[in-house]
Amino acid sequence: MGLFGKIGEGLRKTRDNFQRQIQQITRAFTKIDEDFFEGLEEVLIMSDVGVHTAGAICEHLRQRVKEQGITDPAAIEEELKEVIAGMLEGDDSLHLGTQPSVILVIGVNGVGKTTTIGKLAAYLSGQGKRVLLAAADTFRAAAIDQLGIWAERAGAEMVRHTEGSDPAAVVYDAIAAGKARGVDVIICDTAGRLHTKKNLMDELAKIRRVIDRELPDADKETLLVLDATTGQNALNQAKQFKEAAGLTGLVLTKLDGTARGGVVIGIKEELGIPIKFVGVGEQVDDLQPFDPKAFAEGLFAKGEET
């Protein structure tokens, strides 16, 4: 792995695209004026940052340019990097102080939820924690089996029922087992699709009630997994789940598969929910704790590390 590590590698497609366009703009202008900002805003929108967030970034930049008397368009890259890192800052660590603590993982099918749970289990096991998975996506037998494979790979235990059984009952049993065995972290998978959206939201609410009742004082995280390759659609999903699910953090997957990683900035800016992890590949160690500075660096760093 090169100089910028996995996040730099995972952002390669985004960076190639982004940097080329930023350079085109900075080279095309000899001074920083309104036309320059308009061009820059367009580049940001094209990188899937989102219209609202592109405007906000340019507003921050205008202020910096004015305050610091910057006149050279080439100097804007460094400023942009700092503005983006600043916007991405938040409470990006997991709060898992109690034994047990609980992570509820939600998200629609296909976003990489199972893979993320597996990687997360391996990450926590690697820190010496005892991890138990609750296979509470009982809607599909394949989901339970898939999670079982990841549990093995990650050195985690798992509580499962048969397909079609009550997900809240799986979570209940997992908590009882977790308490009895002295587990550190219980990670609950959930269904990504049910017959209707209302069914899904009701089911999530029921699972949460069980967790709150059985572990009233435990540390709890509710993480929404989003597929970064779906761009603005990921933002819409986040908005829907935010209303219903009391999210504490986001995981953006498949950053390695998209040139539109700018969506990460838009999602953080518009929702105000911290990004806690990013997925940059399919392997067990391809989940990275989110680091705003490394992310911003990764957007601009040259591609020579590959």
In sequence order, the 6+-apart residues with CB closer than 8 A to the CB of 4 are 294, 297, 298, 301, 305
CB 280 within 8 A of CB 7: yes
Q: State the residue number with the nearest CB to ligand GDP.
A: 279
Count, residues near ligand GDP per rule CB under 6 A = 18
- 282 touching ligand GDP, by CB under 6 A: yes
- Alpha carbon separation from 43 to 54, 60, 208, 292 (Å, rounded): 9, 16, 41, 20
Alpha helices in the chain (DSSP H): 5-10, 12-28, 34-46, 51-68, 76-88, 113-126, 141-154, 167-181, 197-214, 232-245, 263-271, 292-300
Q: Judged by CB under 6 A, does residue 8 bind ligand GDP? A: no
Nearer to ligand GDP, 6 or 81 (CB): 6
| C-alpha–C-alpha distance, residues 177 and 268, integer Å | 36
**Minimum distance from residue 133 beta carbon to ligand GDP (Å):** 13
Burial of 70: CB neighbours in 10 Å, binned 0-12, 13-18, 19+: middle
Nearest approach in angstroms of CB 279 to ligand GDP is 3
Min dist. Cβ of residue 285 to ligand GDP (A)? 11
Asked whether position 115 contacts ligand GDP by CB under 6 A, the answer is yes
- Cβ nearer to ligand GDP, comparing 9 with 41: 9
Is 233 near ligand GDP (CB under 6 A)?
no
Among 6, 12, 254, 268, binds ligand GDP (CB under 6 A): 254
Tell me if 236 contacts ligand GDP by CB under 6 A.
no
192 part of the interface to ligand GDP, by CB under 6 A: yes
d(CA 49, CA 10): 17
Specify the amino acid at residue 256: D
Segment interacting with ligand GDP (CB under 6 A) among 80-88, 195-203, 252-260, 296-304: 252-260
Binder of ligand GDP out of 17, 101, 114, 288 (CB under 6 A): 114
From the list 67-75, 96-104, 163-171, 274-282, the region that binds ligand GDP by CB under 6 A is 274-282
- For 100, 161, 171, 172, 254, the CA distances from 177, given in Å and listed in that order, are 10, 13, 10, 9, 33
Q: Which stretch binds ligand GDP (CB under 6 A): 45-53, 70-78, 161-169, 276-284?
A: 276-284
Asked whether position 14 contacts ligand GDP by CB under 6 A, the answer is no
Tokens, residue 188: 């609950």
Question: Minimum Å distance from CB 278 to ligand GDP?
Answer: 8
Provide φ and ψ at 42, rounded to 5°: -65, -45
Distance in Å, CB of 284 to ligand GDP, minimum: 11
Q: How many CA atoms lie within 13 A of 155 on its CB side?
A: 10
User: Quick one: tokens of 166?
Assistant: 């009550």
Binding track over 152-191 against ligand GDP, x by CB under 6 A: ----------------------------------------
Nearer to ligand GDP, 256 or 269 (CB): 256
Give me the half-sphere count of Cα atoms (radius 13 Å) on the Cβ side of residue 274: 17
Q: Residues in the site for ligand GDP, rule: CB under 6 A?
A: 107, 109-115, 192, 253-254, 256-257, 279-282, 286
